[in-house]
Amino acid sequence: MDETSRLIRAGSKAPSGLNRTVGPPIQKGSTILMPDAASLYDVTQTTYGRAGLASHDALIDALTELEGAQTVRLFPSGLAAITGAIMAVVKTGDDVLVTDGAYKPTRRFCENVLKGRLGITVRYFAPDASPDEVMALANGKTRLIVLESPASLTFEMQDVPAIAAAAKARGILTLLDNTWAAGLYFKPLTHGVDISVQALTKYVGGHSDCFMGSAAVTDPKLGAALHQAIIDFGWAVSPEDAYTMLRGLRTLATRMERHGASSLKVAAWLEGHPQTGEVLHPALPGAPGHKLFQAAYTGAPGLFAFVLKDAKPTQVHAFLDALKLFGLGFSWGGFESLALDGDDQFKVRKIKKDYGGPVIRLAIGLEDPDDLIADLEKALTAARSA
C-alpha cells in the first residue's frame, strides 16, 4: 500500500485493544465504522459520533447515578440544557409559568424565543410564591412550570416537592434548574420534578474552564423527547469536555463540603456586620427559605448573597474594587471565590422588591475562609469611606 493510504489507517487500533485506565478513553469521531452494510441503518446501534462515544457514555452513566435518573442527556452549556429541555416539551399555543427569580438568560430565551417567535405565552410568579399561588396561575394551556430554587441571585426558595406534586395532579410538567445544589444536595427527581437540569459548568466542572449542561428524567417518554430534540437540533458536546466533566464529578462531594462550610462561616460573619442587611443564604439558620432548605436539602452549597445596607452605587463599586481574593466575574462553582453586584439583573424582573440596599453575590471558593473574611472586612471599610 502507498504511504498515503497507510497513513490513513495507522494507529487506529480497536478500542478493545486499549489498556484499562482509571478514566474513560477520549474517543474522538464523527464517523463510526460499521461492521457490515446491514448495520448502516440499524437504529439499535450507534451509527454516528454526534450521539456520543466512550467518554460521553461514561459521563452519562455517572450523572444517571448522581441524579437517580432513568435517562440523562448532555447539552453544550447549562443554558442550552434549560432551553433544550424546554424546546423538547413545548409547542405553539402552550402556556409556560416561570419563576421571576430565574437566571437572566433563561428569561431572555422565554421572552425572545417562546413568546417572541413561537407563540407560547410565558407568565412569571414571585420567586418565593407558595404552591397555591403558583398553581392559581395555571390554566388549561399550561404545559410547563420552570423553577429555579433557590433563585441564583437573590436565593428565594420554592417549595419544589409541593409544586411538583400539585403540577403532576393537573398534568403539568415541572423543570427545575438545580445548579445550586449540584445534583448532590437536592435530588429533584425523587421529589417529583419531571426534568432536573443543571449547569455542569459550575460545581461539577469545578474549575471555571468548561461548558456543559445536563437534563435528567425518570419518565422514558420524556427521555425520548429530550433525545429527539437533541437529534432535531443537532446538539453535541466534545469528548474532551465530557472527560473533563467526569473528572470534576470525582471530587464534587469533597469540594462541596468545603464550599458549604466556608460559605456558612462567611455568611454568619456578614450577618453580624453593621454595614450589612439580610444575608440571603438558605442554609443559614434564620435566613429566608431556611425551612424549605432544611426539609429537603442534605448540605450547603457555597453560593449566596447579602445586602449592602443602604449603599450608594459608588460604595458598591468601592467594595467590589477593594476585593483582592474575590475575582469579579460571572459564573461560579470553581475553586476561586467570585463576587458581583446583582442590580443590573433586577431590571428585568416583573415583580419589584426592595431588599434594603444593593445585593452582592458571593461564590465562596476553596480558599481559607478566614482569609476571605479579612478580604471582605477591608472591602467593607473601603465602601464606608467611599
Ligand X SMILES: *Cc1c(COP(=O)(O)O)cnc(C)c1O
Name the site residues for ligand X (rule: CB under 6 A). 77-79, 103, 148, 152, 177, 179, 199, 201-202, 211, 213, 331
* Residue burial 50-63, b: 16+ Cβ < 10 Å; e: rest: bebbbbbebbbebb
Cβ 151 vs Cβ 173: under 8 Å: no
Q: 381 burial class (0-12, 13-18, 19+ CB within 10 angstroms)?
A: middle
Among candidates 153, 208, 332, 361, which has minimal Cα distance to 259?
Answer: 332
- What is the H or E stretch that residue 73 is in? strand 71-75
Q: Closest CB to ligand X among 143 and 361?
A: 361
In the complex, the smallest distance separating the C-beta of residue 177 from ligand X, rounded to whole angstroms, is 5
- What is the H or E stretch that residue 87 is in? helix 78-89
Count of other CB atoms within 10 angstroms of residue 89: 18
In the complex, the smallest distance separating the C-beta of residue 354 from ligand X, rounded to whole angstroms, is 23
In the complex, the smallest distance separating the C-beta of residue 140 from ligand X, rounded to whole angstroms, is 29
Cα separation, 143 vs 159, whole angstroms:
19
**Residue whose C-alpha cell is 437573590:** 154
Cβ 200 vs Cβ 170: under 8 Å: no
Q: Closest CB to ligand X among 237 and 373?
A: 237
In the complex, the smallest distance separating the C-beta of residue 209 from ligand X, rounded to whole angstroms, is 12
Spell out where the chain has E strands.
71-75, 95-99, 121-125, 142-148, 173-177, 195-199, 213-217, 276-280, 303-308, 327-328, 338-341, 359-363
Q: Closest CB to ligand X among 202 and 255?
A: 202
In the complex, the smallest distance separating the C-beta of residue 25 from ligand X, rounded to whole angstroms, is 25
Residues carrying an active site annotation:
50, 103, 177, 202
Q: Closest CB to ligand X among 100 and 138?
A: 100
* CB-nearest residue to ligand X: 78
Joined together, the cell numbers standing for residue 380 give: 467593607
Q: Closest CB to ligand X among 79 and 98?
A: 79
**Residue whose C-alpha cell is 416539551:** 89
Among candidates 358, 305, 372, which has minimal Cα distance to 332?
Answer: 305
Q: For residue 315, give the 3-state DSSP assignment.
A: helix
In the complex, the smallest distance separating the C-beta of residue 102 from ligand X, rounded to whole angstroms, is 8
Joined together, the cell numbers standing for residue 259 give: 464550599
The answer for residues whose C-beta is within 8 angstroms of residue 183's C-beta and 6 or more apart is 63, 66, 67, 196, 198, 204, 214, 216
In the complex, the smallest distance separating the C-beta of residue 92 from ligand X, rounded to whole angstroms, is 25
- What is the H or E stretch that residue 197 is in? strand 195-199
Q: Closest CB to ligand X among 103 and 326?
A: 103
Cα separation, 134 vs 138, whole angstroms:
7
Q: Closest CB to ligand X among 152 and 337?
A: 152
